[in-house]
């Protein structure tokens, strides 16, 4: 009996020693979302990535609300399911990339004054091992008749918000955001949401 216990103990010890130690995640990531999304409008999403150690490549998997559609992405998605709200990017080793950006169109039937969520994960391969870590940062957004640049939701795009919007557009290199439309709303002072056209319209002269 004692011999059997010794043999079992030795077997467990050898098994534990033979296992490769888990590796820390080689990539950290953070999602950046605007505060608001109007039904039928298009909003920018950024995934910023920080390489902690060299990896053999990563897969970014992003889950966005069902009924919403990714219309542009940089780099282009490796796999896109706009029905179920899943996008994947394969980023190979040696690629000097610190972010993935995409434009997603909000479901025109999205319920106003509701909140929806985003989730994601990065799978990295290093030294023959894989590690999966969640995408951190912002994960919820309010559905409201408010432009994505309008951070305080007061139906005005002020100078500070316009400046921040310009920084976002620079960060979203590789996808097209119409600066002229945004400038028109800024110049007007106020804007309104056209629910039928799913478009923000300038309201010049409004108090």
57-103: pLDDT as tens digits: 889 999 999 999 999 999 999 999 999 999 999 998 777 788 999 99
Range 116-133 average pLDDT: 84
Q: How far is CA 154 from CA 16, 25, 36, 159, in A?
A: 60, 41, 11, 13
137 or 92: whose pLDDT is higher?
137
Hey, which residues does 93 pair with through a beta bridge?
Answer: none
Q: What is the mean pLDDT of the chain?
A: 86
The whole model's pTM is what?
0.83
User: Which run of H or E residues covers position 69?
Assistant: strand 69-74
Phi-psi bin for 188: left (phi > 0), alpha (psi -120 to 50), beta? alpha
Predicted pLDDT at 78: 97
């Amino acid at each position: 009996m004692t011999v059997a216990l010794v043999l079992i103990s030795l077997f467990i010890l050898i098994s534990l020693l033979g296992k490769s130690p888990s590796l820390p995640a080689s990539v950290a990531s953070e999602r950046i979302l605007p505060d608001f999304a109007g039904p039928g409008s298009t909003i920018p999403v950024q995934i910023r990535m920080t390489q902690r150690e060299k990896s053999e490549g990563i897969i970014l998997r992003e889950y966005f609300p069902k009924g919403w559609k990714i219309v542009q992405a940089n780099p282009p998605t490796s796999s896109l399911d706009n029905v179920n709200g899943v996008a994947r990017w394969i980023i190979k080793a040696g690629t000097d990339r610190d972010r993935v950006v995409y434009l997603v169109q909000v479901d025109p039937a999205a319920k106003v004054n509701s909140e929806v969520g985003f989730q994601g994960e990065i799978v990295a391969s290093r030294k023959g091992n894989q590690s999966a870590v969640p995408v951190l940062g912002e994960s919820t957004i309010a559905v409201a008749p408010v432009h994505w640049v309008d951070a305080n939701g007061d139906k005005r795009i002020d100078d500070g918000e316009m400046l921040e919007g310009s920084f976002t557009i620079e960060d979203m290199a590789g996808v097209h955001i119409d600066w002229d439309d945004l400038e028109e709303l800024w110049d007007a002072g106020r804007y309104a949401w056209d629910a039928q056209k799913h478009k923000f319209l300038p309201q010049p002269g409004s108090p």
